[in-house]
Amino acid sequence: MDCHSPGQGLMPASFKVRTIPLDGDEDATEEVLDPDFGEAAIGRVAPVDSGLWWIILLRAYGKCSGDLSVQERIDVQTGIKMILKLCLADGFDMFPTLLVTDGSCMIDRRMGIHGHPLEIQALFYSALLCAREMLTPEDGSADLIRALNNRLIALSFHIREYYWVDMQKLNEIYRYKTEEYSYDAVNKFNIYPDQISPWLVEWIPPKGGYFIGNLQPAHMDFRFFSLGNLWSIVSSLATTHQSHAILDLIESKWSDLVAEMPLKICYPALENQEWRIITGSDPKNTPWSYHNGGSWPTLLWQLTVASIKMNRPEIAAKALEVVEKRIAIDKWPEYYDTKRARFIGKQARLYQTWSIAGYLVAKQLLEKPDIARILWNDEDAEILNALSTNRKRGKKVLKKTFIV
C-alpha cells in the first residue's frame, strides 16, 4: 500500500472469490482467490493474529485427525518458518512481546490497544509452542528453534511478572516510586500510581486476578480483555495459580463479564471524553457496544477450553445455559450490546457463522472434554526450569558505573 509491501510471512485476514475467463475460451471461467493483507481493511491495518491462529489450528488439525502429512509438506513448513521469522525479526523494540498497531487482531478498530496487547502475546506464545512441535528437523531449523526457545522464556517471564494484577500486586503498584534509573529498578516501566483507575479499586475482587490488556513505558491498560486472558490459560502462558485466579475472577464478576450473554470482549467500556479521544468518536464502538464492551458469543468456546483444562467445566456449563436461553431465538447474532448484554448488537449480523460455531464447539467439548486437549499447550518443563533458575539467582550485583 502506498509503495510499501508487507513482510513475507504475513497471512491475509480474508479472501475474496473472483471469477475470471480462461485464456482462449470465452465461455470457460475459473475462480481465483484475492487475498486481503490489509489493503482493503477498515483503517488499512495488516492482520497480525491470522498467521498465529493458522499455526495453532494446523497443530490442532494434526492432533485431531492423526494426519501429519499436511504440516510436513514443504510449502506448509515454509509457511510456518516465514511467519516465525517475521514475528521474531529484530527491530527497535526492547521487549520480548510482539509490537503491533491498533486494529491488528480480533479488535480490528481503533480501541487504544496498539503496542503490546495481551491477546497478541497469548496467541504469539501459543503459536511458538505449536510451531516448535511441528517444525521438521532440517538445515536452517536449528537457529530458528534456538531463537524461538529464547523468546518463549523471555515472553513467559515478561507476561507473568509484569502484566499480572491482583489485590496484592495492585497494592505494590499503588506504592511505586517513580523516575528510577538503574538496572535493578522495581518500577521498571516508570508506571505512575495515579494510573490506577477508580473503577479498578472497587472492581478487583479479594480472590482472583488477571492479565492487564497492555503494558508500555509509563502506561498500564488495566482493562480486562477476555480472549487474551482465556488464551493465556489455554496456552499455559499463565501459571497454574494465575489460571485458577483468572477463572476465580470470572466467577466473582459474573454479572459484569457474562450477565445475560457471554462473553464481554473487554471490561469496562470506554465512555465520554475517553471514548471520544481513544476511538476517535467511533460510532460503531459506542460504550458497551461492538468491541467497546460488547458481548461476543463466539468467545464461549475459548472459555470452555480454559475451564476444561483447569478441571472446572462447571463454569463453561453455566455459561452455556445462559446462551441457550436466547441465542437461537435471537437468530445467532454476531454480538450483543448494553452493559448486561440485553440487546442484540445494533449492527450485528444474524446467523453469524462463528457465533454458531462457538456454541457447537463448546457444547461438544463439554460432552467429550478429552477432545479439548488438541487445543491447549501443556506447561513446558524447559521454560519452568529456566524461570525458576532465574528467580533463584536473584538480582545481579552490579559494579558501580559512571555515565560519561
**pTM to 2 decimal places:** 0.92
Tell me whether residue 343 is in a domain: no
**Comparing C-alpha atoms, which of 375, 275, 383, 390 is closest to residue 56?**
375
**Grid cell listed for 381:** 518443563
Tell me whether residue 5 is in a domain: yes
**Grid cell listed for 261:** 450473554
What three-state secondary structure class fits 352? coil
Tell me whether residue 250 is in a domain: no
Q: Determine the straight-line distance between the first and last CA of the chain, rounded to whole angstroms.
A: 44
Q: Which helix (H) or strand (E) holds 374?
A: none
Return the sign of the alpha-carbon dihedral for residues 330, 332, 334, 336: positive
Tell me whether residue 29 is in a domain: yes
Please state, as a whole number, how many other Cβ atoms lie within 10 Å of the Cβ of residue 361.
20
Tell me whether residue 267 is in a domain: no
Q: Which helix (H) or strand (E) holds 225?
A: strand 219-225
Q: Which domain holds residue 5?
A: 1-41
Q: Which amino acid is at 120?
A: I
Tell me whether residue 28 is in a domain: yes
What letter does residue 32 receive in the DSSP assignment?
A: E
Tell me whether residue 272 is in a domain: no
Maximal CA-CA distance, the chain: 81
Tell me whether residue 198 is in a domain: no
Q: Tens-of-pLDDT digits for all 404 residues of the chain?
A: 677 777 888 888 888 999 988 877 778 888 999 888 888 888 888 899 999 999 999 999 999 999 999 999 999 999 999 999 999 998 888 899 999 999 999 999 999 999 999 999 999 999 999 999 999 887 678 889 999 999 999 999 999 999 999 999 999 999 999 998 888 899 999 999 999 999 999 999 999 999 999 999 999 999 999 999 999 999 999 999 999 999 999 999 999 999 999 999 999 999 999 999 999 999 999 999 999 999 999 999 999 999 999 999 999 999 999 999 999 999 999 999 999 999 999 999 999 999 999 999 999 999 999 999 999 999 888 888 887 776 665 544 444 455 54
pLDDT recorded at residue 397: 44
Total number of domains constituting the chain: 1
